[in-house]
A and B are shown apart, each in its own frame.
Chain A
């Protein structure tokens, strides 16, 4: 569905055309039917990558293919729905006119248009009376919903969403999350960027973490969280003097806990604790959040 290989893009900004490298070799592969998260801090290159995929920007080098066709060709966007970050729409149109306009661009026949507009409006939670109002009267959340509706109008096989949760209240976020899950259940491939990492962690089948213009981790949520290997927490009873703890066994998390980087280190750590006559209270797999991993990657690369 999406194949990106060693994509690079440099912007030239200001009067002196100062070069700023936004994407420094992004590679990723989204398979059909996946719900794929694209995460990273602001300015990491997520939106640039998405815009290259949709032909809105040209890459300096590397390849990007959408639906098996080179990105930039209109045919590659034939079955693709897109919602940009902070979407602005034609505020002089009513919701219904707006969706009809995009419906025509998505090649929906006149006779089917009204029915399809009703379907997607219902799907994204827009009430019929809202469709009769001009978009300038819409709240940010409603604009986000109608933006999502226009992306889904043409029954796309691939949906690309740039920060679809931004501007939404918690209930709106939950609704969008459910819509994404529904699309995934219907076999539609979803590729979306987000800062709401808990949502990505909860619903994505795979994800890519991009930091400073490069994909630093890619895979399932557990792959990304473990970074390909598991770490462990060894919890001891009572405050412990860790000054004699060999460095290779792990790092100290708090007054009672050691973080071992792998299973071998965990085994040696337990032996060390027994040698020191320390009482072991618990041993558990370390549970990181995407936020922790992202923070680590940012600290390492940004």
Chain B
């Protein structure tokens, strides 16, 4: 545990000293402030527009951080060969992976915390008291980013930075479409024979689609922004169940990344 915390602290320190992160945070804060103007221009309720826009911006900013910082954390160590002195210490390689991951989670938490503060100040400035449900939406944004960071780490354990970024963004997009694809599949099953022009799906195609669905997280599960902004009800234990769902994927990705990383050669 000691090694993991030492690596996590250093990963945190590395990231908070990186200029790219500050640019991203300032850019996001700028966009959240911009939501004030957007609210005034919009024909819809100012409060809802600000909430919707700010949460979307936080989600996007978190994604950028997870992908680009997450990939860089391991790849930089490999490219600069700093990993040689690190892995020559008596630490198991999975400690390195988990340590890096925890360090980045800490950075994400800090940044989302700063953005949440700015977001709430914006709401207070227009006379709206931030409702506690917003924190649930932000927590699930954080959880989604935690899953994406684990994906980024997994790809960067065996691929180049460019490919890792592409793969991770691919998983992000697929993750948001995963639910739709499965819905589409069941639609074809129910109505395919009756509706002309509906594509025919073979058993194998269906198995592949279902297999991909269970390997890629359904990221729409983490999106409760609309429901929170418009005060729609959330299911019983929704946040708890989604947390467990996210944790299972994170665990799976970290285990695969660690296994892969433990076999890797460092020339």
Contacts and interface: CB of A to CB of B under 8 A. Distances in A.
Interface of A: 11, 51, 54-58, 74-78, 80, 82-84, 86-90, 92-93, 97, 101-102, 104-107, 147, 150-151
Nearest to A106: B89
Interface in B70-88: 80-82, 84-88
A197 to B, nearest CB: 25
Kindly list the 8 A-B residue pairs having the minimum CB-CB distance in the complex, ordered from nearest. A82-B88, A84-B84, A104-B6, A77-B90, A74-B90, A105-B89, A88-B80, A56-B266
Nearest to A105: B89
Interface residues on B, range: 20 to 34
Given A87-B81, A90-B10, A105-B3, A77 B267 contact: no
Interface string B89-100: 111100000000
6 contacts: A56-B265, A74-B90, A88-B82, A102-B85, A105-B3, A105-B91
A77 B86 CA distance: 11
Nearest to A82: B88
B2 interface: yes
A80 B81 CA distance: 19
Contacts of B2: 104, 107
Interface centre among B88, B91, B263 (most CB of A within 10 A): B88
Given A75-B90, A82-B88, 5 more contacts: A57-B265, A74-B92, A84-B84, A87-B81, A105-B6
B180 interface: no
A84 B85 contact: yes
A79 to B, nearest CB: 9
A131 B14 CA distance: 18
A58 B82 contact: no
Interface in B194-226: none
Nearest to A162: B84
B94 to A, nearest CB: 10
Contact of A147 (B14, B80, B85): B85
A58 B93 CA distance: 14
Contact of A54 (B81, B88, B91, B263): B88
A117 to B, nearest CB: 15
A77 B88 contact: yes
Given A88-B80, A105-B3, A82 B90 contact: no
B241 to A, nearest CB: 37
B89 A89 contact: no
